[in-house]
């Protein structure tokens, strides 16, 4: 799936959730989508968890 198609699908899901269940359900679904994307990248080997942890702690990731 291309990035455009993925964006359209995510936007459609968030739109339906917003209309059907309200703002807080939209926020909850958006958080779950973000967590799922992170888990997917880690599982595919596209995201290094130790480097991400260093960035979140404020350490420099590159020199």
Q: 2 or 10, which is more confident?
A: 10
Separation of alpha carbons 42 and 22, rounded Å = 31
CA-angle at 11, arms to 5 and 12, nearest 5°: 90
Looking at the domain assignment, is residue 42 inside a domain? yes
**Average pLDDT value for residue range 14-42:** 90
Q: Under a CB-based contact definition with an 8 Å cutoff, are residues 41 and 47 in contact?
A: yes
Looking at the domain assignment, is residue 44 inside a domain? yes
Looking at the domain assignment, is residue 63 inside a domain? no
Looking at the domain assignment, is residue 62 inside a domain? no
Looking at the domain assignment, is residue 43 inside a domain? yes
- Where are the strands (E) in the chain, listed by range? none
Looking at the domain assignment, is residue 17 inside a domain? yes
Whether the predicted pLDDT of 62 surpasses 80: no
Q: What is the mean pLDDT of the chain?
A: 86
Structure tokens at 4: 């455009």
Q: Which domain, by its residues, includes 29?
A: 3-57
How many domains, in total, are found in the chain?
A: 1
Separation of alpha carbons 63 and 60, rounded Å = 7
Enclosing H/E stretch for 39: helix 23-44
């Amino acid at each position: 799936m291309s990035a455009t198609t993925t964006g359209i699908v995510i936007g459609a899901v968030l739109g339906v959730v917003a209309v059907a269940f309200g703002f807080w359900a939209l926020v909850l679904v958006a958080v779950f989508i973000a967590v799922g994307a992170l888990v997917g990248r880690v599982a595919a080997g596209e995201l290094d968890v130790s480097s991400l942890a260093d960035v979140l702690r404020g350490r420099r990731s590159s020199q």
